Structure 1
């Protein structure tokens, strides 16, 4: 079963009637209201968007059953997910970040680096996290220069290692 896809993160309470700031990770920010109930990652809780409007750099949303500021404040920081099958299909050259988790990561010289375990964004751009068979995970900028090829059908991503972590012969160091 495909992993659920994170489509939004709840921020601080907005006002006194249970509204929250909502940051979406969808191409169309307002599409979040059309995916049906939004779930926590473990699926234990679900939220139905009852109203949403655009704000400066986020949305302001209300959820069914959340009507006070105190209730809204307890939701701060929750990430909201939907099952992969509820999302639109991607074009041939598109993918969801969740589609990359579990793929093999190899260098441009076809040397194994490990497996993709996550794509993160801490505010300055996407970062790909790769776990080698042994050793410490690598966090690399997820850009076209560092990850020039994504081959979902082939089950791998090709990584152009920055020169400071690449061996002298152009291969990956012992990991």
Structure 2
């Protein structure tokens, strides 16, 4: 791995209240989305960067969102104070990825080098288009490379700190 064990992975956010008894609606980006409850403790962080740790969240599917019970959150006012908070966990709380699968956070900061040895800079971040994920390499310019293996992403070497790509430098 890349030594990112102290980094936090964003898994979801609190999006609203559910009822009046202190339950919250959660948007989860885990797959399946209920898996967010397997990875705890959570770090709840607001837009200003203020964070607190929370353990013992339980929940269930409810249409578009998950509905969760959070320890110490027992009324609508307490829920309103949580709306908008991001939910993250330490990278070390997640299981190892399967072969040829990667956590995006593990790829961030790696060098991107094409088949001709041209250095495209480093992986800034990745994002999803729905059709596929896209790797953003920042170097002499920003390049958006579809994260499609093995057509465009030919390999990831964590030991060398390199993502190999088959990509035209002019794109």
Same fold (TM over 0.5): yes
Pair 1:143 & 2:142 matched: no
How far off its partner does 1:100 sit? 0.5
Change (3 A) 1:129 1:97: same
SS of the residue aligned with 1:71?
Answer: helix
Point out the structure with the larger strand share: 2
Equivalent residue pairs, number: 163
**Equivalent-residue separation in structure 2 for 1:122 and 1:45 (angstroms):** 32
Q: Which of 135, 159, 171 is the aligned partner of 1:153?
A: 159
1:21 is matched with 25
Q: CA RMSD in A?
A: 2.9
**Structure 1 unaligned regions, length at least 5:** 167-171
How far off its partner does 1:20 sit? 2.3
**Equivalent-residue separation in structure 2 for 1:90 and 1:11 (angstroms):** 28
**Structure 2 unaligned regions, length at least 5:** none
Change (3 A) 1:52 1:105: same
Pair 1:53 & 2:60 matched: yes
Q: Which of 5, 11, 19 is the aligned partner of 1:7?
A: 11
How far off its partner does 1:70 sit? 3.6
**Equivalent-residue separation in structure 1 for 2:134 and 2:80 (angstroms):** 29
Pair 1:118 & 2:125 matched: yes
**Equivalent-residue separation in structure 2 for 1:121 and 1:13 (angstroms):** 28
Change (3 A) 1:7 1:38: same
TM-score by length of structure 2 reads: 0.75
Which piece of structure 1 moves more, 50-59 or 148-157?
148-157
1:169 is matched with none
**Equivalent-residue separation in structure 2 for 1:147 and 1:78 (angstroms):** 34
* CA-to-aligned-CA distance 1:141-166 (integer Å, 9 cap, x gap): 433344343333332212343xxxx4
